[in-house]
Amino acid sequence: MIRSSRPHSPAGSASDPEATIDTHVETSADLIAADDVLLFVNAAITSTGQREFHSGAEEQSLSLDFLHRYLLGNYRDLYTATLALDVNDRNAVMIAKNLLTTAAEADPEQRRAEGRLIARRLALLPPPRVYGLFRALRRAKVNNRRTRAIMRDWLAARPDLAFDAVKYRGAVKDVVRHAHLRPEGELGPFLFTPHRRAAYATPILETWRRAHYEQAALYGLPYTVAEGFAAKHRIPRAAFLERIAPRLTRLERLRLQESARGLGAEAVRADLATMPLTRLASYVLSLSLDERARRRTELTGALRAAARRTAGGQAGSWGTVAAVLDDSFSTYGSGHKRRRPLAVALACHFLLEALAREYTPLWLSGRQDALLVHPHGATPLGERVLDGLELRPERLIVVSDGWDNSPPGLAEEVLRIWRTRLDPHHTCAVTHLNPVYDAADFDVRRLAPTVPTAGIRDAENLLALVELAQFADGRTGLPELRAHLARRVEGFLLGDT
């Protein structure tokens, strides 16, 4: 989401009902509320509470938790609406948990709206995230009627609950117990007394039972379950991967294919042509430079295909575009988010190439070969921003963590002079996309007050984030933001995501 150019940090409620408020004060309160919401969404898009290059996991978690509590306490309806935005999975779960935990603080209308948004968001989350949320609610002893209904309806909508019972048995058992549910057929006995039956009529449950003593049976189970049985039966890793390959999910194949290749298990090969853009960029960066060079045609073709899918009908519609792309040493990220900022920059590079009629990439390192980028060197953002502006593009996109340090502050000064003296009519639209949350500032780091800054986690969200730049120029406030959120919520509930 876009961070407004108005300087502001969280500081108490947006309004005081006992105060006498004139029109100017009321308008200022609206602007502050809009700022608070945009600040929160920037954090909820970028931060996962893990260690970043410039801040530790504890700082990230504390900062993020504060923003959640602040927005929930001051703008509950707007906090709820952010479930319809591009917040990451961790923060979507936190929002749902906080709303369900504080149900007593909401009125009936709010509870109905929250329930619909929570249910819709849970339907889009990976099952392990949802089961993790339900178990957290159980530990917190949240067991109101709405929570039980959400658990019941989500389980009822699962395409194969027997499959879930095998793959996530402990979690399913906890949810069934907490929501006071009675599973039909063999699921109840399987969850609570799995070894008492001599045989199951449900195929996957019977396969699980037989896998305890029959090696061949384990290859009919999900990979994560079969892996435990393979260790129990002492099956060689290479042989196991070869035979389990047909059961692997798309992302399991991507994660395992390099280690499988080293073991000679060639059957484990990912179809790169179907991979999401940012996930594919992360995979490419995990390969050695020699491997990338050797597979140049394959990898470049897959990245461009993913970018074209993401661009959709807007491919080639953006006119002339220049991009300043950060590949400095800080884009290594951390041990928990290895090369994540660089992966976002690489994915954005290929997406912008697909969107633009004419495209010029400007990597900070000066490299010309995007496929061989790697984290290295300082962050001379000012110089590269100047290079980009000299091209007079219709759009300049900067993808960077914002730590301009070679020399410090040059990018801000270049952008200030450009916007105030050389291009006051905004003939060149400049947007900064930042993939790293700055825990100390409760926001993503900005390049300049005159440039809208958006938090970004996946390049797939670039189109929506750039379009939201209207909320960052200081001329729009809470009414416009509420209207935008209402449209996003309506589309989200209708499935237009």
Mean pLDDT of residues grouped by 10 in the chain (497 residues)? 42 40 51 81 83 74 91 94 92 96 93 95 96 96 93 95 95 95 92 90 96 94 94 94 91 86 81 90 94 95 95 93 94 83 96 96 94 91 92 94 84 88 85 85 80 88 76 64 86 80
Look at residue 269 in the predicted model and tell me its pLDDT. Answer: 83
Look at residue 469 in the predicted model and tell me its pLDDT. Answer: 57
Look at residue 497 in the predicted model and tell me its pLDDT. Answer: 58
Across-strand partners of 267?
Answer: none
**Which phi and psi angles does 287 have, rounded to 5°?**
-85, 155
Look at residue 24 in the predicted model and tell me its pLDDT. Answer: 40
- What's the whole-model pTM score? 0.84
Distance of CA 318 to the CA centre of its chain: 25
Look at residue 470 in the predicted model and tell me its pLDDT. Answer: 62
User: Which CATH class for the 278-476 domain?
Assistant: alpha beta
Look at residue 232 in the predicted model and tell me its pLDDT. Answer: 94
Domain spans in the chain, listed from the N-terminal domain onward: 212-276, 278-476
Distance between start and end Cα atoms, the chain: 16
